[in-house]
Amino acid sequence: MSDDDLGERFSKLIDRRRIGVVEIRGVIDGAVRTDAITRVLGAARRNRQVRAVVLDIDSPGGGAVGSEILHVAVKRLAAEKPVVAWIRTTGASGAYFLACGATRIVAFPAAIVGSIGVISIRPILVDALRRIGAHIDVTKTGPFKDLGAPWREPTEADAAKENELVQAIFRRFTSAVRTARGFDDAALARVTTGEVWLGTQALDLGLVDAIVEDEEGATEMAQDLAGLPHRHTLRLGPKKNLLARMGVPGAGMGPPGSRWITELEGWMSAPRVRA
């Protein structure tokens, strides 16, 4: 063991200050369990040894409510200690929403960034049900109680109500982006088209603060923001089972169910670039 290694180990023993690293990997409300990550961020905020946090993000987004819950948790953490959101591969839609709560947003040069928008999708199975001779009988207390139901065609009133909900969520998302990035109306309109950009393009647009090629660069930024003399890190996150630690897809998500569907839908709708 070299003198440098010994010095590093000794430094870690006598100086317990740490930079926490939290992984946000997967679809929000799918592999990314909103309640679990919220607890991790809260614990990091209360832990006096954790002086800064790096969010290691690879996510296409996910549920609107879950994304905003994580944004609020990140913003609350950043109010007390520096938070660097590093978009490793994909930081789109709800993942970018949560990143807007951080002190700094950085990205890998070729990372996918953006997709600032809201979408509502539902299947319409009227023709399929008719072909198999099925009939759905509905008793409801109001005209919108079965809004979004796949067994009937949407009415004009349904479409208007659904659009109203989508626009309301969109305003909350764009308000967070405006506040985080200091955009005026023109700059905000430029980046809220739903499109995505590479990290280098996102830098030019003001969506990220810097280009960072690896975790070391992200922790170095966190170190500078926290005024620490070192970059001793501490991995934070929900406890992983053996299969999850081995990187087996779907491990840790529980038995096949709604989370699996959410995860699949999220990645299928995310832009993926192959070389």
Q: What pLDDT does residue 153 have?
A: 81
Q: How far apart are CA 4 and CA 135, in angstroms?
A: 74
The structural domains of the chain, with segments of one domain joined by +, span: 3-115+195-268
Give 182's pLDDT tier (boundaries 50, 70, 90).
very high
List pLDDT tens digits, range 83-142.
999 999 999 999 999 999 999 999 999 999 999 999 887 778 777 877 888 877 888 888
Q: What percent of the chain has pLDDT over 70?
A: 81
User: Lowest-confidence range among 4-13, 21-30, 191-200?
Assistant: 4-13
Q: Is pLDDT of 241 > 60? A: no
Confidence grade of residue 220 (pLDDT, cut at 50, 70, 90): very high
Q: Which DSSP category does 154 fall into?
A: P
Q: Which residue has the tokens 């690293």?
A: 21
Q: Give DSSP secondary structure letters for 37-78.
A: HHHHHHHHHH-TTEEEEEEEEEE--B-HHHHHHHHHHHHHHH
Give residue-wise pLDDT tens across range 140-160.
888 888 777 777 888 888 889
Q: Are strands 83-92 and 112-114 parallel, antiparallel or unpaired?
A: parallel
The DSSP output letter for 102 is S
Q: Are 87 and 59 in contact (CB under 8 A)?
A: no
* Structure token digits, residue 63: 């549920």
- pLDDT at position 271 is 65
Does domain 3-115+195-268 correspond to CATH entry 3.40.1080.10?
no
Of the pLDDT bands very low, low, confident and very high (cuts 50, 70, 90), residue 200 is very high
- pLDDT of 176 over the 60 cut: yes
Beta bridge partners of 53: 20, 83
Q: Can you give the pLDDT at residue 263?
A: 64
What is the pTM assigned to this prediction?
Answer: 0.83
Decide if 46 contacts 38 (C-beta within 8 A). no
